[in-house]
Amino acid sequence: MSEENKSGIPLPTIRRLPLYASILFNARDGKQTTISSSYIAKELGLEPIQVRKDLAGIGITGQPRIGFPVVELIEAIEKFLGWDNTSDAFIVGAGNLGAALAGYPGFKKHGLNVVALFDCDYSKIGSKIHDKEVFDIERMGHLTERLGVSIGILAVPAEVAQAITNLMVDAGIKAIWNFTPTKLLVPNGIIVERVDLAASLAVLSSKLTAAIKGKKSN
Amino acid sequence: MSEENKSGIPLPTIRRLPLYASILFNARDGKQTTISSSYIAKELGLEPIQVRKDLAGIGITGQPRIGFPVVELIEAIEKFLGWDNTSDAFIVGAGNLGAALAGYPGFKKHGLNVVALFDCDYSKIGSKIHDKEVFDIERMGHLTERLGVSIGILAVPAEVAQAITNLMVDAGIKAIWNFTPTKLLVPNGIIVERVDLAASLAVLSSKLTAAIKGKKSN
């Protein structure tokens, strides 16, 4: 199966949109009104044609020798990614990772609002973490329906990830943001996105290796 | 500044290598000996030329109408990313996030070995988290040198991220894996890589938006 969205825009394009946004925010802060695809491409180590294709996909085309309009492009990306309005989400698993995510300050900016946590540990149920209540996981179905929540953030130990995913699907969760290293099996129509720490770690290690080699050859 | 590595390989290429690896592992499990760039490109929503360029960058070229050798390609990626040997790392910040990362089972597979944690909270110093000792942050310089550790995983609250980064640099840490949303300022030669939750969340939200629209139009 190709990794393509129903919107017709490939997922790697969508993954790149926040990177484009961060370059555009810098350009806007620097009072720049236009930006070239080759500049963006160079900053991100991409081919300029890839950048132009990505931006055309969300409906913005540049003008030859002038480039792309910075503010329009920011607005188009924010709209496309839903950063202009927020979605409610549950965190499932109130252990260390769940608690860390409940207090993560960056989510609101990117359109995510954590409303509650779930756990099966009675010593946690009823307590509050970062002002959000921890509910019994048995109540997830009821609360998913009553609060109209679609997104579940999975933050449980790897070995129970699949079992808890099944509970989330039964509860009516439509999209699972998977913070475990487990590859989840879900019915058709349920969305899963796994946080990929491997890619980030790969960049760190290779930069470090290159730096050490660079020093040795000096 | 272009996002390019000293090895001459662009960072987005390096970021894609773990994705290529996961497709290649599946191919190997299915007893496939060769794989085409267009297949890989389709799976990841990339242009085939981008895939061929990326793989040529780590020294592997395919043969027309035959494709790329699966096992050779896996070995080249593992070697390039250092997955074939491990690096020691410290976690700085023994709060919820630090504790979650100390117990994360996926790091070893990707060449990272967490040896200890640091904190400034006396109620945590001396305790063990997932069998790893929590040390006083004042001892970081001494232990970085004694144990020859280069990598520090930053897992502190956003508002102290820069101050703790300064301490890590003074202690001799060469590469910082930043789990905070703070953009860090570091001296030349110090490597920083931030975990980008925004890209992952962007994919999740856009899939969900597309799924909801798809349902409404049915």
Most confident stretch, A101-115, B77-91, B123-137: B123-137
Average pLDDT, chain A: 87
More confident residue, A45 or A89: A89
Tell me what percent of the residues of chain B surpass a pLDDT of 70.
94
Q: What is the mean pLDDT of residues B125-146?
A: 96
| Greatest mean pLDDT among A49-63, A126-140, B43-57 | A126-140
How many CB atoms are closer than 10 A to CB B112? 23
Band the pLDDT of A18: cuts 50, 70, 90. Answer: confident
Higher pLDDT, B13 or A2: B13
Q: Do A82 and B111 touch (CB under 8 A)?
A: no
Cβ B84 vs Cβ A84: under 8 Å: no
The whole-angstrom separation of Cα B166 and Cα B173 is: 10
Least confident of A162-176, B26-40, B79-93: B79-93
- CB B121 within 8 Å of CB B94: yes
Domains A11-81 and A87-198 share a fold: no
Range among A3-12, A77-86, B176-185 rated most confident: B176-185
For A27, other C-beta atoms within 10 Å of its C-beta total: 21
Q: Round to whole Å and give the CA distance between A38 and B114.
A: 40
Q: How far apart are CA B199 and CA A90, in angstroms?
A: 19
Q: Please report, as a single letter, which amino acid is at residue B65.
A: R
What pLDDT was estimated at residue B43?
A: 79
What pLDDT band is residue A123 in, cutting at 50, 70 and 90?
very high
User: What's the whole-number mean pLDDT along residues B52-57?
Assistant: 92
Single out the residue of B173, B138, B155, B145 nearest to residue B104, CA to CA: B155
Say yes or no for a CB contact (<8 Å) between B14 and A194.
no
Angle value at C-alpha A19, between A13 and A21, nearest 5 degrees: 100
Which of B9, B107, B201 has the CB atom closest to A112's CB atom?
A: B201
> Which residue type sits at A70?
V
Asked whether the beta carbons of residue B199 and residue A50 sit closer than 8 angstroms, the reply is no
CB-side exposure of B45: number of CA atoms within 13 Å?
19
A150-154, A155-159, B136-140: range with lowest mean pLDDT? A155-159
pLDDT band per the 50, 70, 90 thresholds, residue A1: very low
pLDDT of residue A216: 59
| pLDDT value, residue A100 | 85
Token pair, residue B5, equals: 């590595």
Kindly report the number of other CB atoms within 10 A of residue B60's CB atom.
17
What fold, for A87-198?
A: Rossmann fold (3.40.50)
Reported confidence tier of residue A204, pLDDT bands at 50, 70, 90: confident
- Tokens 């998913």 map to which residue? A144
Element (H, E) at A88: strand A87-92
The CA-atom distances, in angstroms, between B67 and each of A175, B53, B79, B127 are 36, 14, 21, 53
Highest mean pLDDT among A185-199, B49-63, B122-136: B122-136
**What CATH class does A11-81 carry?**
mainly alpha
Instruction: Please enumerate in sequence order all residues whose Cβ is within 8 A of that of A176, keeping only pairs 6 or more positions apart, or say none.
Output: A151, A152, A153, A154, A165, A168, A184, A186, A190, A191, A192, A193
Give the per-residue pLDDT at B158. Answer: 83
Does residue A120 register a pLDDT over 70? yes
Calculate mean pLDDT across residues A75-83.
86
Out of A214-218, B105-109, B162-166, B189-193, least confident range: A214-218
Of residues B112, B88, B98, the one with CA closest to residue B155: B98
Which residue from A6, A80, A191 is facing B204, i.e. has the nearest CB?
A191
Contact B177 A204 (CB under 8 A): yes
What's the mean pLDDT when you consider all of chain B?
87
Average pLDDT over residues B126-130: 95
Average pLDDT over residues B136-141: 96
State the smallest CA–CA distance between residue A135 and chain B in angstroms.
19
Please report the pLDDT score of residue A144 as a whole number: 96
Q: Which of B196, B202, B211 sits opposite A81 (nearest CB)?
A: B202
Write out chain A residues lying below 8 Å of B186, CB-based.
none
A152: nearest CA in chain B? B204
Closest-CA residue to A211 (of B179, B66, B173): B173
Numbers of helices and strands, H then E, in chain B: 8, 9
pTM for this predicted structure: 0.74
Report domain extents, chain B.
11-81, 87-198
State yes or no: pLDDT of B119 exceeds 90: yes
CB pairs under 8 A between A and B: 219
Residue B7's pLDDT is: 65
A154 contact residues in B (CB cutoff 8 A): none
Show Cβ contacts of residue A82 under 8 Å, excluding neighbours closer than 6 positions. A111, B205, B206, B209
The share of chain A scoring above pLDDT 90, in percent, equals 50
Q: Do B205 and A18 touch (CB under 8 A)?
A: no
Question: Quick one: pLDDT band at residue A84, thresholds 50, 70, 90?
Answer: confident
CA distance A144 to A167: 12
pLDDT at B177 over 80: yes
Dist CA A181 CA B70 (whole Å) = 24
Say which DSSP state B160 is in: G
Inter-chain residue contact B96 with A82, CB threshold 8 Å: no
Do B110 and A158 count as a contact with CB atoms less than 8 A apart? no
